[in-house]
Amino acid sequence: MPIPDFQSIMLPLLKLTADSNEHRLRDAVESLAKNFQLSEAERLQLLPSGTQAIFDNRVGWSKSHLQKAGLLESTRRSYFRITDRGKQFLQNNSSQINMNVLKQFPEYLEFLGLNTPENAIVNGTLNQTAKTPEEILESSYFEIRRELAQELLIKIKQSSPSFFERMVVELLVRMGYGGSIKDAGQATQLTNDEGIDGIIKEDKLGLDVIYIQAKRWDSQPVGRPDIQSFVGALDGKRANKGVFITTSRFAENAREYIKSITKKVILIDGVQLANYMIDYGLGVSVVSTYDLKKIDNDYFGE
């Protein structure tokens, strides 16, 4: 079954604590996963950032909302239990718990901050979605990132071939190859390049070099013949390592070919190229920065 949203987890979580015992969050997650009959793949499905399992995140938020409504209470780090209010709530034979139901409790209304327009908008969004705040934040971030990557590719394809060749060398330097543009990387002349568009040192000492082929193509895929030609150019340089970068994509036969050769050739398509540029700050600038913080439990330890 699909992963339940965090509001759908609230009632099963509260019922789990009806024994009045202290429960550990990790144990509750495992028990609820069995209750919802989640598959192993669903249990391992991560947030867009890859930092936490989606189900774990949703259980955590369910617990947080129930605590803010006074139905659960924290006993110690990562442990909680049902309150008298929670027991009374279950005795009323409630068939559902969600954010709207929890608004009957004054503490929960205070938590939502519904007296301010900004918080009313945010929590109204939460009421209408199956996603937790982290999911909403991360999804929005990656959507903005995808749009930025698409804009970058358009800009790159509009640039000159010589600019593109210099750009990919600069990107590899920023990624840690060599030391500086002057010392570590160079783009070859457009004439007599012998199938090589750039050269980069593998490390700051220059113990080995990596040759680059850069194709600023619109939509035409890079096929096996193009990769074979590049490998032949590497042979001419007595080189064993190369990077083939394109603004388009690689045909499947090209990707299969590099698996069958002894030389180490890395393929970077347009989507990967744009994302590397975002990661290493090339051709982009920071507009806003948001720090997402959590409680430092070590600070409060005795």
Structural domain boundaries in the chain:
6-131, 160-279
Range with the poorest average pLDDT among 54-58, 138-142, 228-232 = 138-142
Q: Is 271 exposed, middle or buried (0-12, 13-18, 19+ CB in 10 A)?
A: middle
Query: Is the confidence at residue 20, as pLDDT, over 90?
Result: yes
Query: Is the confidence at residue 75, as pLDDT, over 50?
Result: yes
Query: Is the confidence at residue 118, as pLDDT, over 50?
Result: no
Mean pLDDT of the chain: 85
What's the CATH architecture for 160-279? 3-Layer(aba) Sandwich (3.40)
Instruction: Give the pLDDT of residue 225.
Output: 95
**Residue length of the chain:** 302
pLDDT band at 4 (very low <50, low <70, confident <90, very high): very high
Distance CA 185, CA 30 (A): 52
Q: Which residues pair with 200 in a beta bridge?
A: 185, 210
Instruction: Give the pLDDT of residue 179.
Output: 61
Q: Which residue has the tokens 């997650």?
A: 29
The more confidently predicted of residues 180 and 137 is 137
Query: Is the confidence at residue 237, as pLDDT, over 90?
Result: no
Amino acid in position 115: N
pLDDT band at 111 (very low <50, low <70, confident <90, very high): confident
End-to-end CA distance of the chain: 44
Mean pLDDT, range 74-82, rounded to an integer? 91
Query: Is the confidence at residue 166, as pLDDT, over 80?
Result: yes
Instruction: Give the pLDDT of residue 120.
Output: 44
Instruction: Give the pLDDT of residue 226.
Output: 94
Distance CA 36, CA 48 (A): 22
Query: Is the confidence at residue 185, as pLDDT, over 60?
Result: no
The CATH number of domain 6-131 is 1.10.10? yes
Distance CA 220, CA 20 (A): 65
Mean pLDDT, range 113-129, rounded to an integer? 52
Q: Is the dihedral of CA 267, 170, 182, 197 positive or negative?
A: positive
